[in-house]
């Protein structure tokens, strides 16, 4: 190999070593630089609070279901688990006859829809009225909604429960107890038509003068729009 070629080869090797050294130096410098950045970040801190809502989180109204009484006034159903509504017409039943009652129910909540159910409740778990025979085991229940859709059909009180469906938000100011009912948005009300039959049969003479203490309980769960 000539002197010129040896010089060129040594120069190339020198350049490779220099590049290699340079790369290692960059990595080493980078590691030191990152370490310095980490220390700097640990020394400088900042906090910021972001308020969630001007008045706080949560529905600012009252979720409320209500019924319309026979005189056209409002009775709220707002207790946990539902409020009981006594069916006065049931007291006039005699064997072989039936009685029906219409119970208008409406969502009294401005913004939230209400998934609504109903059930028949027998006072004390058996419907007995103190001092008189208990006719509850001889009663059968049927129910429809305002369109005539059958919700329950010819069942004992223990099975007399069903779904009225989702009542739309009232979309206007809630009504308070005792005021005349004023309709809200379309779909915010429904009517439960309840029919109670006193089944005739043998040995009912022993139940002459008997009664049953019954209620219908409504319950609603809020549904977001």
The Cα–Cα gap between 28 and 31 comes to 5
In sequence order, what are the residues at sequence separation of 6 or more whose Cβ sits closer than 8 angstroms to the Cβ of residue 128? 134, 136, 212, 213
**Residue of higher predicted confidence among 191 and 11:** 191
For residue 24, what pLDDT band results from cuts at 50, 70 and 90?
Answer: very low
8 Å CB contact between 133 and 212? no
**In whole angstroms, what separates CA 123 from the centre of its chain?**
27
Residues whose CB falls within 8 Å of the CB of residue 163, separated by 6 or more in sequence, listed in order: 115, 116, 117, 151
Rounded mean pLDDT, 141-147 = 96
**What is the average pLDDT score of the chain?**
79
pLDDT at 19: 23
| CA atoms lying within 13 Å on the CB side of residue 28 | 6
Burial of 95 by CB count in 10 Å (0-12 exposed, 13-18 middle, 19+ buried)? Answer: middle
Cα–Cα distance, 195 to 100 (Å, whole number): 4
């Amino acid at each position: 190999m000539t002197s010129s070629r040896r010089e060129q080869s040594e120069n190339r090797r020198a350049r490779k070593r220099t590049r290699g050294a340079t790369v290692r130096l960059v990595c080493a410098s980078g590691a030191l630089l990152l370490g310095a950045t980490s220390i700097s970040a640990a020394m400088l801190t900042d906090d910021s609070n972001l308020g969630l809502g001007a008045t706080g989180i949560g529905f600012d109204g009252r979720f409320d279901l209500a019924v319309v009484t026979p005189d056209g006034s409002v009775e709220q159903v707002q207790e946990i688990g539902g409020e009981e509504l006594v069916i006065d017409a049931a007291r006039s039943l005699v064997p072989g006859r039936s009685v029906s009652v219409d119970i208008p129910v409406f969502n009294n909540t401005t913004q939230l829809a209400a998934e609504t159910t109903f059930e028949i409740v027998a006072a004390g778990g058996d419907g007995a009225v103190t001092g008189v025979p208990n006719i509850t085991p001889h009663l059968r229940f049927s129910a429809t909604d305002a369109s005539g859709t059958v919700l329950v059909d010819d069942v004992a009180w223990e099975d007399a429960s069903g779904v009225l469906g989702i009542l739309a938000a009232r979309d206007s100011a809630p009504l308070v107890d005792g005021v005349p009912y004023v309709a809200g948005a379309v779909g915010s009300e429904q009517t439960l038509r309840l029919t109670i039959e006193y089944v005739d049969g043998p040995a009912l003479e022993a139940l002459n003068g008997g009664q049953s203490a019954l209620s219908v309980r409504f319950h609603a769960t809020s549904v977001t729009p």
